[in-house]
Amino acid sequence: MINVTKSYLPDLEEYTQYLKGIWERVHLTNDGPLLRELEGQLKEFLGVKHLKYCTNGTVVLQMALKALNITKEVITTPFSYVATTNALLWEGCTPVFADVRPDDYCIDPDKIEPLITENTQAILATHVYGNACRIEQIQAIAEKYNLKVIYDAAHTFGATYNGKSILSYGDLSTCSFHATKVFHTVEGGCIVTNDDEMAEKLHFYRSFGHRNDDYYSIGINAKNSEFHAAMGLCVLPKVPDLIESRKQVFGWYNDRLNFGRITRPVLTPGVAYNYAYYPVVFDSEATLLRVMEALNAQHIVPRRYFYPSLNTLPFVVGHQPCPVSEDIALRVLCLPLYPGLPEEDVDRISAIVNEAIAVLSEPA
């Protein structure tokens, strides 16, 4: 079985050494020493001022909305994982969907401004597949209308824009450290800010609003454990090599796939990519389904990611047409990509894809 991704696991003995320390200290969670060490290493690795390590990539989106007092309309993308929309709905906000650009599938800044109303409070944009949004355009709109900018940067770990971590941008930026990501802590996530007061607020939010034995503010249980931090401390030093391995697999696909009926998202100028995913877009959903069937028959499991377009979710009130996103969501497929995927497997996957496309290309 070849799955769309495979989690990297460090040497078991390396992880076990951290576990021995946890057993000796009997400090399992609640801002433990390994968590603090990981936060420090993450800030240094990413070059960011403040970073709070939390339980997952969804709760940090909720924390961002709460910390910025966002309760009304938020202009957001329909092309993302469902957590982006769920966080808005869970926090009682109204998602207003701006369609995406047809070349990179990130939110289209030209579609944002016409959607702004007196109830608009923020823009929540996703750096799709780890590729940066049009950051300067989004920031200009936000400043013009006094809006906050939150970036769902779940896929961006290790990627940079104009020489800075993509997590550096926006009022708040969030990332996922789920087991499928470039960097992972099994489960986990972080929220990043350059503002000292905001960092303090997020610190209390993460742990029920506790300050010592007092309740300082509202809060949620977003703290992560020493066991998860230990995994992060093992994985983080390997990230440059893991990205390099991903880049190699990425190049193999580029050399082998027949792009006559396949397109790929265009990389935003200024981005140094982390090779988080290998999405391909076919000429029709019928082609995609044919390719999936052929791959599944050989025990190869790609993923329709992202699907469906979030503006079509049944629990979102009112249909807001986003024709570009709706179209791309029907035709996009992520092929297997992870460190250590053998070249012969990429050969086989590419051959199956090319053959399925060729069959559909043959005249009746």
Using one digit for the tens of pLDDT, what is the confidence trace for 41-59? 999 999 999 999 999 999 9
Please give the pLDDT value at position 364.
Answer: 46
In the predicted model, what is the mean pLDDT of the chain?
96
Please give the pLDDT value at position 360.
Answer: 57
CATH 3.40.640.10 fits 2-98+106-237, yes or no: yes
The answer to pTM > 0.85 is yes
- Digitized pLDDT (tens) for each residue of the chain, 364 residues in all: 999 999 999 999 999 999 999 999 999 999 999 999 999 999 999 999 999 999 999 999 999 999 999 999 999 999 999 999 999 999 999 999 999 999 999 999 999 999 999 999 999 999 999 999 999 999 999 999 999 999 999 999 999 999 999 999 999 999 999 999 999 999 999 999 999 999 999 999 999 988 777 778 899 999 999 999 999 999 999 999 999 999 999 999 999 999 998 999 999 999 999 999 999 999 999 999 999 999 999 999 999 999 999 999 999 988 899 999 999 999 999 999 999 999 999 999 999 999 999 975 555 4
Where exactly are the structural domains of the chain?
Answer: 2-98+106-237, 239-361
**Which residue do the tokens 């053998």 mark?**
342
Residue 56 vs residues 63, 117, 170, 192, 242: alpha-carbon distances, Å: 11, 32, 20, 14, 21
Fold agreement between 2-98+106-237 and 239-361 = no
Please give the pLDDT value at position 286.
Answer: 96
290 contacts: CB under 8 Å, gap ≥ 6: 356, 359, 360
Superfamily of domain 239-361: Aspartate Aminotransferase, domain 1 (3.90.1150.10)
How would you class 265 by CB atoms within 10 Å of its CB: exposed for 0-12, middle for 13-18, buried for 19 or more? buried
Please give the pLDDT value at position 319.
Answer: 84
Q: What is the largest CA-CA distance in the chain?
A: 75
356 contacts: CB under 8 Å, gap ≥ 6: 287, 290, 291, 293, 294
Q: What share of the chain is helix, strand, coil (3-state, %, to 5)?
A: 45, 20, 40
CA 306 to chain CA centroid, nearest Å: 11
Q: Amino acid identity of 354?
A: N
Q: Amino acid identity of 337?
A: L
